[in-house]
Structure 1
């Protein structure tokens, strides 16, 4: 099964066992994350509804990309600036594709507490 997920403003086609390099995501190596922004899912040529699907992934490493040289120049003004930049990346290993999102039910205790807090407090006598 494969899925198209969006992270960092880019889209990736993933399947279980794939390794992808995405823009930096918070987390340490070895921790697991879920990618909830699934745009499309399918198996072979059959497409499935992507609503409520998630992709489970494990962070393999936090790394830096290749150095990009930024060179600015204005002719005839003796203006030259040289800068370097290394983009931060996260390497992900896709664990599973297409697990259902579990919606959290409202806890019953919270409903009881809100009913108690809405009751008028007894007036203090002076």
Structure 2
């Protein structure tokens, strides 16, 4: 079973047991986090696409680590103007292990009235 999850402005395709790095989420190491913005859920038999979200679907993940990502360098330069600026940035990330993907419960169709019940 797989799901497409939206978190931190990005989308991730995850399976049960996957380890992913997402933008910082609140949660302590070892605790579970529930992601409820699910865009698509599927398995071998069928795929459910949300409009825009799949109602009732949830992904549960365990927080493995809260850390800072690799440093990126932001360098600005204007030639022939002696203008140079160098700045670094480290994004805070949360490392998650997906433990469970739950589909939405199937809706039951309303029971049809029989001719006897309709006559009464």
Query: Is TM (by shorter chain) over 0.5?
Result: yes
Deviation at residue 85 of structure 1 after TM alignment: 0.8
Task: In structure 2, list runs of 5 or more residues that go unmatched.
Answer: 106-120
1:3/1:15 contact within 8 Å kept: yes
Task: In structure 1, list runs of 5 or more residues that go unmatched.
Answer: 102-126
1:79 pairs with one of 71, 83, 105: 83
2:60/2:101 contact within 8 Å kept: yes
Count, aligned residues: 101
Question: Structure 1 runs of 4+ off > 4 angstroms?
Answer: none
2:55/2:104 contact within 8 Å kept: no
Return the alpha-carbon distance in structure 2 between the equivalents of residues 85 and 91 of structure 1: 19
Aligned equivalent of 2:25: 25
Pairwise CA RMSD: 1.7
Higher normalized helix content (fraction of residues) = 1
TM-score with structure 1 setting the length = 0.74
TM-score with structure 2 setting the length = 0.77
Higher normalized strand content (fraction of residues) = 1
